[in-house]
Amino acid sequence: MEITIKIDKRSKQAKAFYEYLKTLPFVEIVEPRYNKDTEKAIKEAKSGKVTKITLEDFRKELYS
């Protein structure tokens, strides 16, 4: 069974709880490097699902 816990590490109690969880042998900490959209874009780029675009075309698409 897996449980997902989201911890806002801005408080002292949350930081202490997070550090405690890291010491437990049965706890796996998974922290994304980036936000969800960026992670998705990285996965798509690695799998080859994206197409190349020139900077000029990107700017046209962005500002239209």
Answer whether 21's CB lies under 8 Å from 27's CB: yes
Give me the pLDDT at residue 23, please: 95
Give me the pLDDT at residue 33, please: 82
pLDDT in tens, the chain (64 residues): 888 888 988 999 999 999 999 999 999 988 878 888 888 888 888 888 878 889 999 899 889 8
Query: How many CA atoms, within 13 angstroms, populate the side-chain half-sphere of residue 23?
Result: 6
Residue that is written with structure tokens 């042998």 in the block:
25
Q: Decide: pTM greater than 0.75.
A: no
Can you give the three-state secondary structure of 21-62, one letter per residue?
Answer: HHHCCCCCCCCCCCCHHHHHHHHHHHHCCCCCCCHHHHHHHH
Give me the pLDDT at residue 30, please: 85
Query: How many CA atoms, within 13 angstroms, populate the side-chain half-sphere of residue 25?
Result: 0
